[in-house]
Amino acid sequence: MNILERITNEFNLRPQHVENIVELLDQGNTIPFIARYRKELTGHIDDQVLREFSDRLTYLRNLEKRKQDVQSAIEEQGKLTEEIILSLNKAETLTEVEDIYRPYKQKKKTRATVAIAKGLEPLADIIMAQDITSGTVEDLATPYISEEKGVKNAKEAIDGARDIIAERISDDAELRKKLRRIFVRNGEISSKLAKTDKEGAEVYEMYAEYKEAVSEIKSHRVLALNRGEKEGFLRVKVAVDKDFAYRVCRAPFVKMGSITTHIVEEAADDSYDRLIYPSIEREIRSDLTDQANEQAIKMFEVNLEPLLMQPPVKDKITMGFDPAYRTGCKIAVVDDTGKVLDKTVVYPTPPQSKVDEAKFTLIQLINKYKVDVISIGNGTASKESEIFVADLIKSPLLKHKVSYIVVSEAGASVYSASKLGAEEFPDYDVSERSAVSIARRLQDPLAELIKIDPKSIGVGQYQHDMPQARLDDVLKGVLEDCVNKVGVNPNTASVSLLTYVAGLNSAIAKNIVKYRDENGKFKTRRELLKVSKLGEKAFEQCAGFIRIPDGKNVLDNTGVHPESYDATAKLLDIFGYTADDVKNGKVQELAIKVKNFGEDKVAALCGMGVPTLKDVLAELAKPGRDVRDSLPQPMLRSDILSISDLTVGMKITGTVRNVIDFGAFVDIGVHQDGLVHISEISDNFIRHPSEALKVGQVVTVTVLGVDVKKNRISLTMRQNRKNA
């Protein structure tokens, strides 16, 4: 198998681009660097496709290695044939390779190996040949009776031979491949409640008598069945029509008209029941789980990026409000850079309910520090806290307008109790750190959320059931892509943020922080080369993603890579501009001038490719820009609703909190998120909610139904719904 040719076809790319990408990856270049600064070599492949490309390349290389290992192992046994080599070359999955290797694997003790040890393999050959039409099978078995070998009579000899034939049938790669296809196309997955005294079985009521085609089952239901089975509440199985399966197993091996035909038929049926079916059921369940895991991980990936890329609420003095009951609400005021100005504890919620005292304390803080917005965590006591804050900001004692927003506090407690939280705020208790995090995640979601294990951020589904190494790898890629899209200021960034810059790692990130603490702010990108362990290769990978706002060179505050500085200088010179013009925003017409002159000509004159030229022009037009600023801002509130205020038909503006396979949860400001089922998201057909919605997106929804007792809210986004 030609790996490059296969990937070229699968990804529909040009052969030269595939060769270039493979070479760039093998050289140790990072995905963000390749995607951003090697467009001429890759054909503009974005970071997500590059990650899929890299994963596929790794799989195919592992597949080829396994084929070679299997071929060598069979060859060592002296059993390698041209047919086996051809089968291995044709195999497209690791499962197919293992099927080919199955007959040659050294087996553990089985009924067949015991029979072979008793000398019954020649009898199995005779029976399987099915070319004897007279006499009896017992006559054929008589010569193999041996007290010494443990074969007491003809029946034992025949039974042993049947076991050998059953295992041979089970080891047939083509039969297994065919049966696997049948299970995928015609199989049915079913579940029943298991007999158990454990509490919690009601969660799985819908799966008490459940059946669905293997080809139709959705990923989230696969994961629900797996969890129910793991917790001991469900019994799950996958099956096809047994009589049909028997016929499929018999067809390649049974020849009619022989005295041994019925023995081979029995062996085929036994092979299916005892060996093939349990194995293929496990494989199908495993495949369904792998696909469901990948889908769930994909959803986590899809949700995490917009959450991290939410626009920062800049230049706002923010009060972080961490709600609680008995222990009081922790308050932290941070300035517009995230520096903590003050902290306190108030008790406006039950059981203390010291509302007036809390109002007095917070009004003083708001007036003293000119607080612009209050960021409230959405955890325990959030509703009561929001009611309190909504009333507080109406007070005539406030000297200026204040608004509030409820933010997801998912992961805040994880950060607060972490080593990183303790290092950042050694004198704060856990809840005080949480209040700071809640404030900062409004000011700069990316910089704050990057400190938290992404599995704790509160998006996705079944994240704790996923293969953790794979999930961590994918989410790390999302974090890396987001950080590098935004860019990082090495003079203010935390170690956590710097760690995700392309080419850097935790050790280098710590050294960058140590260097700036000892030597002051970085004035140029190239100064990074003075940092311990940050060599030329790491600098090449990271430099374009570093931003130095007040540096000596204006290009250091753009996405222009240092390798293109000379070419950029030529570009500016050709059209009569200077670096000061870039700094003062006077190069807005440059892109038009380049287009009129001819992009190909300009690129050739400057010594860069056209894709790089276009990127440079975009960066020169807006030095220091934040890509997140072009996205819709978070929705700040000044009043509050209760679930009891909702009525069917009411239109409300809300924020998407989570997108899952069957719909999306939307925060409409009543403490309980409402569900928009996939069928209610759009008037047009969509295959998945993520085609229409993203986490953090502000949407208008209509209330379909409210169940106050069960705390459930049904919403719709469809415009043509007659009863909405």
pLDDT tens digits, residue range 382-431?
888 988 998 999 999 999 999 998 888 877 778 888 888 888 889 898 88
* Helix (H), strand (E) at residue 691: none
List phi, psi (to 5°) of 25.
-65, -45
Cα–Cα distance measured from residue 424 to residue 422, given in angstroms and rounded to the nearest whole number: 5
For the segment 14-20, the average pLDDT, to the nearest whole number, is 96
Identify whether the C-beta of residue 724 lies closer than 8 Å to the C-beta of residue 671: no
The mean pLDDT value for 605-619 works out to 95
Q: What is the pLDDT of residue 724?
A: 43
Position 452 confidence tier, pLDDT thresholds 50, 70, 90: confident
Question: Residue 170's closest CA among 76, 34, 275?
Answer: 275
pLDDT at 637: 65
Q: How many residues does the chain have?
A: 724
Residue 630 has pLDDT above 80, yes or no: no
Question: Using the 8-state DSSP alphabet, how is residue 273 labeled?
Answer: I
Does residue 661 have a pLDDT over 90?
A: no
How many CB atoms are closer than 10 A to CB 302?
19
- C-alpha 433/C-alpha 436 separation (Å) is 5
- Crossing angle between the packed helical segments 261-270 and 121-129, to the nearest 10 degrees: 110
User: Given strand 318-322, what is the order of strands in its sheet?
Assistant: 340-346, 329-334, 318-322, 373-377, 403-407
Q: What's the average model confidence in pLDDT over 39-46?
A: 93
Number of C-beta neighbours around residue 578 at 10 A: 14
Percent of the chain with pLDDT over 90: 70
What six digits make up the tokens of 81?
């044939």
Residue carrying the six token digits 């290797």: 101
Q: List pLDDT tens digits, range 350-381.
A: 999 999 999 999 999 999 999 999 999 888 88
Helix or strand (DSSP H, E) at 677? strand 674-677
Phi/psi of residue 324, nearest 5 degrees? -165, 170
What average pLDDT score do residues 681-701 get? 89
The rounded distance, in Å, linking the Cα atoms of 261 and 162 is 11
pLDDT tops 90 at residue 180: yes
Delimiting residues of CATH 2.40.50.140 domain(s) in the chain: 643-716
3-104: which CATH topology? Arc Repressor Mutant, subunit A (1.10.10)
**Comma-separated ranges of CATH 1.10.10.650 domains in the chain:** 3-104
What integer pLDDT is reported at residue 303 of this predicted model? 86
For every residue of 499-547, DSSP letters joined together read HTSTT--HHHHHHHHHHHHHH----SSGGGGGSTT--HHHHHHHGGGB-
Task: Identify whether the C-beta of residue 524 lies closer than 8 Å to the C-beta of residue 556.
Answer: yes
pLDDT of residue 200: 81
Across 273-291, average pLDDT: 95
- The residue with tokens 């293969």 is 467
Which CATH architecture does the domain made up of 514-630 adopt? Orthogonal Bundle (1.10)
Torsions phi, psi for 519 (to 5 deg) = -120, 0
pLDDT-derived band of residue 722, with 50, 70 and 90 as boundaries?
low
Q: Write the DSSP symbol of residue 233.
A: S
For the chain, give every residue range classified as CATH 1.10.150.310. Answer: 514-630
DSSP letter for each residue of 423-447: HH-TTS-HHHHHHHHHHHHHH-HHH
Dump pLDDT digits (tens) for 65-90.
Answer: 999 999 999 999 999 999 999 999 99
* Side chain identity, residue 198: K
Is 50 exceeded by the pLDDT of residue 98? yes
Q: Which of 59, 127, 118 is nearest to 93 (CA)?
A: 59
Q: Which residues contact 447 (CB under 8 A, 6 or more apart)?
A: 338, 440, 493, 494, 497
| Dist CA 103 CA 120 (whole Å) | 18
The H or E element spanning position 29 is: none
- The pLDDT of residue 598 is 95
Dist CA 684 CA 678 (whole Å)? 11
- Exposed (0-12), middle (13-18) or buried (19+): which is 263, by Cβ within 10 Å? buried
**Per-residue pLDDT averaged across 592-608, rounded?**
95
Q: Which two tokens stand for residue 216?
A: 């139709």
Whole-angstrom distance, CA of residue 542 vs CA of residue 338? 25
**Integer CA distances (angstroms), 311 to 196, 430, 440, in order:** 49, 27, 12
Please tell me the predicted confidence (pLDDT) of residue 108.
Answer: 85
Mean pLDDT of 553-569: 96
pTM of the model: 0.80
439, 455, 456: which is closest to 447 by C-alpha? 439
298-337 confidence digits (pLDDT tens):
888 888 888 888 888 888 999 999 999 999 999 999 999 8
pLDDT at residue 260 in the model: 96
- Among 496, 566, 560, 480, residue whose Cα is nearest residue 525: 560
570: how many CB neighbours lie within 10 A of its CB? 14
Q: How far apart are CA 384 and CA 353, in angstroms?
A: 10
Residue 523 is predicted with a pLDDT of 96
For the chain, give the percent of residues with pLDDT over 70.
Answer: 98
Q: Over the stretch 184-218, which tens digit does the pLDDT of each residue have? A: 999 999 999 998 778 888 888 899 999 999 999 99
Give the single-character DSSP code of 563. G
C-beta of residue 713 within 8 angstroms of C-beta of residue 672: yes
Alpha-carbon distance 186 to 183, whole Å?
A: 5
pLDDT at 635: 66
Rounded to whole angstroms, the Cα distance separating 128 from 263 reads 8
C-alpha to C-alpha distance for 154 and 135, rounded to whole angstroms: 14
Q: Tell the CATH topology of 643-716.
A: OB fold (Dihydrolipoamide Acetyltransferase, E2P) (2.40.50)
Q: Which CATH architecture has domain 318-477?
A: 2-Layer Sandwich (3.30)
Q: Residue 639's pLDDT band (boundaries 50, 70, 90)?
A: low
SS3 content of the chain, % helix, strand, coil (to 5): 55, 10, 35
> Nearest-5° angle of CA 104, CA 149, CA 165?
40
Confidence of residue 638 (pLDDT cuts 50, 70, 90): low
Strands (E), 42-198: 188-193
Nearest to 534 by CA among 559, 558, 498, 584: 498
